[in-house]
Structure 1
Amino acid sequence: MTPAARLQTAIEILDAIAASAREGGAPADAIFAEAMRARRYAGSKDRRAIRGHVYDAIRAVRSAPASGRAAMLVLADADSALAALFDGSAYGPQPIAPGEPRAETGLAAAALIDLFDPLIGEGDGEAMLARAPLDLRANRIKANRDDLAALFPEGEAIPGAADGWRLPPETAAAQHPAYAEGRFEVQDAASQYASAALDAARGDAIVDLCAGGGGKTLAIASLTANEADILACDTNRARLQQLPPRAERAGATRIETRLLNPGQENAMLADWRGRATRVFVDAPCSGSGTWRRSPELRWRLTPARLERHLADQAKLIDLGADLVAPGGKLLYAVCSIIAREGRAQVDEFLNRHPGWTADSGYLPDGIGRAAGHGFLLTPAHDGCDGFFLARLTAPC
């Protein structure tokens, strides 16, 4: 493909991503992959260049643009070499006309920024959209961080994460034989901090209420040396089915999975009511803390979608509380920097549940900032995804 053809392809893919964002459809990565399957003639260099154009434009534009061209013109204004590719050549974009509209730039739409936690400042914007490093977590059942240092000497230790090792963005670590052997997992530092904050121990009875594909479930199994009983639940069959083979690879043999039917969660977890010493509620959320990895999420969030997330979060934290044994602990977490999903959700929980208390001092020194009854982690302050977490103790 010519450079101009690559640029036109990126514009077409951006059109599809913007439309999908407005409609709540497939994510950007899935759309990009499908577009490349439809263009089998594109080589690896073509794919890398097209992907670069697409994601550079997504990071630059604050909300779903009217067109992919309007988004790409933003980049062309800052790059004369890119602007020169708007040359009208075969398969390339048409020349730039005077006064053509551009997409709006910035971190996010003003109405969305107004929802951020008060701790988010002007200096956070660049870090929230920068390319994220690749974080690894050593699986204690089979390895430790020193092993990761030997495998990937180009990396560095993650501050405050005992098992964490950080590599440059897009390192192909998952292709290393040690990954297939279950010696490590790819996991952002924020998730490693949250898993450790649960303070699970050998012999605990643990519920991971929103386990998804099981990343934090496996981290908890590692931290407890495969000597705790863990029930991993979710309502998404496709995601939960990913966990058993991952657990087998990791040597985590005490994980039970349970698919929950939406609306029937209480009945389906009746055998665990009041029994769990630890409950992890990694609730579905806006994903606003993960914009480094999925910048198009800024284009997807609407007031209606946020309200649905808030309702689900309140339901799940209450459900989790019913499972906790007297004196046990619940960790509530969202990969969000929106105050209503974080500190406000915990404030409301504590008002609904007299006798429950919020813990403190469960994060490594220098990690996180106090946000109400919990802690907020951000890329600028903590070098990880944006995350809110709060550990709560049940009355005895």
Structure 2
Amino acid sequence: MTPAARLSAAIEILADVAARRRPVSDALKDWGLAHRFAGSGDRAAIAGLIYDTLRRRASAAHVMGSEEPRALVLGMLVLMRGLDAAAIGLLADGGRFAPAPLTADEQARLAAPDLAGAPPFVRGDYPQWLHASLRHVFGEDAVAEGQALAARAPLDLRVNTLKGDPEAARAALAHLHPGPGRFSPLALRIVLDAEGKAPPVTSEPAFLKGEVEVQDEGSQLAAIIAQPLPGTQVLDLCAGAGGKTLEFAALMDNKGQLYAHDSDIRRLKPMHERLARAGVRNVQVRSPRGAEDVLADLEGHMDLVLVDAPCTGTGTWRRNPDAKWRVRPGALAQRVAEQAKILEDAARYVRPGGRLAYVTCSLLDEENGAQVRALLAKREAFHAVPPAETVLALGSRGQALREAALVTREGLLMTPRRTGTDGFFVSVMKRAG
């Protein structure tokens, strides 16, 4: 497909998403099935156009004076990809499979894109209803934080120390030009190409052998800060597909006992294969069984309980720009209620002197600090461990992370703007002995 034809396809798919109000991934899949002549490169390029458009949807609509799919894509090309009006006109020339020629109004707007008078939520490319929450956390930096969230994310890998070491993994993937992580000693970072296309890492021998896993550096740091120690008893209460379970096992050097649980058995399905590939031997998966309490025997016995809580995912907007515009106030309220219940439940598994680590991929205080404050008010035996202490788990890199991140009494918040990672909040609480 030509670049112009890819542009037309992106506009068509975005129109389908708007008309049917469904996830972009579903629309892309259906389009690919109906257009089998499009190769993998074409599909990746079209997806890149769509996701870049969603990253800059608010600002593109402001520049173009319209929220129509065509206007959003054209606005993205000038704001996100740096094309000028002439270059865009060559793509939208009305030729075969190309978008219709630019109108005089479109040419004028693309020639002088102006966001100077736009509201903060437009300049920051985030939903208007979330502005108050983001401003509460970031103050005048809310726009800058939003703009960082509207950029593309790199591809981060975690080296599995049960199978190898960072230098060996980096050598095995040298053809992908990975660099080291900024804060995590386990991280390798691959910068994506100009269109945001990621290399097929899951087909690499290093991945197939379990030597590396795909995991954002912020997620890696959250697990390290939680500090699962070798030989201890650890519960990953919201384990999902097992990303942090795998890292915990490696940090524990397969020593001690690690329990993995999730309230939804479907989310646990990929874990078993991942555990085997990673060479993990100290994990016991506790799948839910109806009304039975499968964790009853763990109550009051855990050295560490991790709550990687379900949340709005505002910290992952770089990777999931579709979710940015689909989240609603009702979803936030639902997540906050779920988090409070999970945290209260998690506290009962912590032994005297043990720790409770609370992690979200959210930037909102409602899901982060407020949840910690509420639990501490109800559970007087617990207190928040100061981030100045928790970052010591990172050794010499800990102080640098503390200086870069946003630190509060409840915990530490990483963001794309501050730490170059996805947005992650980490709080560690300790129960009195």
Asked if Structure 1 and Structure 2 have the same fold, meaning a TM-score greater than 0.5 normalized by the shorter chain, the answer is yes
Q: Aligned AA for 1:71?
A: L
CA contact (8 A) 1:235 1:261 kept: no
CA contact (8 A) 2:239 2:268 kept: yes
Whole-Å separation in 2 of the counterparts to 1:19 and 1:198: 44
Aligned ranges 1:118-197 → 2 under 5 Å: 118-119=137-138, 121=141, 122-153=143-174, 154-169=177-192, 170-197=198-225
The answer on 1:286 being equivalent to 2:309 is no
Structure-1 residue corresponding to 2:226: 198
Aligned-pair identity (%): 36
Q: Deviation per CA, 1:91-122, whole angstroms, max 9, x where unpaired? A: 443444566899x6642123212212523613
Structure-1 residue corresponding to 2:255: 227
Report how far residue 208 of structure 1 moved. 0.7
Report how far residue 43 of structure 1 moved. 2.2
Q: Deviation per CA, 1:44-73, whole angstroms, max 9, x where unpaired? A: 342233123212211111399954223223
Match of 2:323 among 297, 319, 324: 297
Q: Deviation per CA, 1:282-310, whole angstroms, max 9, x where unpaired? A: 11111110111111221011110110110
Whole-Å separation in 2 of the counterparts to 1:395 and 1:293: 39
Match of 1:372 among 409, 420, 430: 409
Structure-2 residue corresponding to 1:37: 33
Whole-Å separation in 2 of the counterparts to 1:15 and 1:158: 38
Aligned ranges 1:259-270 → 2 under 5 Å: 259-260=287-288, 264=291, 267-270=293-296
Q: Aligned AA for 1:138?
A: V
Q: Deviation per CA, 1:71-103, whole angstroms, max 9, x where unpaired? A: 22323566423344434444443444566899x
- In structure 2, the CA distance between the partners of 1:304 and 1:252, relative to structure 1 (3 Å rule), is same
Aligned ranges 1:233-244 → 2 under 5 Å: 233-244=261-272
CA contact (8 A) 2:222 2:426 kept: yes
Aligned ranges 1:321-332 → 2 under 5 Å: 321-332=347-358
CA contact (8 A) 1:75 1:82 kept: no
Match of 1:93 among 88, 99, 102: 99
Report how far residue 357 of structure 1 moved. 0.5
Report how far residue 336 of structure 1 moved. 0.7
Structure-2 residue corresponding to 1:384: 421
Structure-1 residue corresponding to 2:128: 110
Q: Aligned AA for 1:249?
A: R
- In structure 2, the CA distance between the partners of 1:381 and 1:106, relative to structure 1 (3 Å rule), is closer
CA contact (8 A) 2:126 2:146 kept: no
Whole-Å separation in 2 of the counterparts to 1:206 and 1:83: 59
Report how far residue 135 of structure 1 moved. 1.4
Q: Tell me whether 241-250 or 148-157 shows the greater mean CA deviation.
A: 148-157
Q: Aligned AA for 2:188?
A: W
Q: Deviation per CA, 1:251-307, whole angstroms, max 9, x where unpaired? A: 101212223368x58x33222211211111011111110111111221011110110
Aligned-pair Cα RMSD in Å:
2.6
Q: Which structure has greater helix proportion?
A: 2
Secondary structure of 2:364 counterpart: coil
- In structure 2, the CA distance between the partners of 1:333 and 1:19, relative to structure 1 (3 Å rule), is farther
Report how far residue 250 of structure 1 moved. 0.6
Report how far residue 395 of structure 1 moved. 2.3
- In structure 2, the CA distance between the partners of 1:39 and 1:336, relative to structure 1 (3 Å rule), is same
Q: Aligned AA for 1:50?
A: I
Q: Aligned AA for 2:191?
A: P
| Unaligned segments of structure 1, at least 5 residues | none
Whole-Å separation in 2 of the counterparts to 1:244 and 1:299: 33
Structure-1 residue corresponding to 2:116: none
- In structure 2, the CA distance between the partners of 1:30 and 1:354, relative to structure 1 (3 Å rule), is same
| Unaligned segments of structure 2, at least 5 residues | 111-121, 193-197, 392-397
- In structure 2, the CA distance between the partners of 1:372 and 1:32, relative to structure 1 (3 Å rule), is farther
CA contact (8 A) 2:314 2:362 kept: yes
Q: Aligned AA for 2:74?
A: L
Secondary structure of 2:223 counterpart: helix
Q: Aligned AA for 1:86?
A: A
Whole-Å separation in 2 of the counterparts to 1:49 and 1:185: 25
